[in-house]
Amino acid sequence: MPVSYTYIFIEMLLILMVIIGAKTAKNYAPDKIKVLSIFIIILWLLRFTANIFLFLSRNIIFLYILKFFSLINIATIPITALLSLYIFYRNNEIKADYLMVISAIVLMAYTLIIFKMDYNLKRTESFGYIISFENWLFIDFSVIVIVSIIMVCGLIIVGEKLVNSGGVALIITASSVTIIEIVLKLLGIQVMPSLVISDIVWVLALVYAINVIKKNKG
């Protein structure tokens, strides 16, 4: 089916994008930003790979092993946003150490959630197996709150001196896309599963942020 092909194409394209981003970060990013960039890219890569396995696999036992990575976008989105805003803001008073600590806290919170909450697993004709939280309303509401805070932060700093306003605008756009995608899902309108459209915009923001570092070094 065309929708199935589109879904797989998007996942493979996202894998390519994050690999390119990782190479750029390795060559141009400062040490701490490099570590965090490559770490978050690995998490994104594991999510996209897990989604492809969920699409192709017929072994339901194996699928539950993939839940940690398939649902990890609820952690990668805020970490990606924080890292990108840090790069775009260009404020030397904010230390990268704080960013790494916050990222670790976000990931630990996600790990706690993933092992405490129950899941739904269903087989779809177009997208293969889809894993979701049983209490998905709570998760969706939490994601909306988080990206809304991110969007407000972006709106506060956009246009400031030394701020990369184009990059911040991309963060605001990504936040808006995530909120819209979740609201549409709540209304029963879902073009792609698991916030895949949001994945595209957030990965674009991350890759753009990494390329800003490359441009500044050049």
- Give me the pLDDT at residue 143, please: 94
Angle between helices 165-186 and 73-89 (to 10 degrees): 160
Q: What is the pLDDT of residue 26?
A: 95
For residue 68, the model assigns a pLDDT of 86
Q: Which pLDDT score, from 0 to 100, does residue 42 have?
A: 97
What CATH number was assigned to the domain covering residues 2-217?
Answer: 1.20.1070
pLDDT of residue 32: 92
User: What number of H helices and E strands is found in the chain?
Assistant: 9, 2
The domain segmentation of the chain, as residue ranges, is 2-217
Q: pLDDT at position 218, please?
A: 61
Residue ranges of the chain whose pLDDT lies below 50: none
For the whole model, what pTM was predicted?
0.92
pLDDT tens digits, 12-38: 999 999 999 999 999 999 999 999 999
Question: What is the rounded CA–CA span in Å between residue 200 and residue 174?
Answer: 9
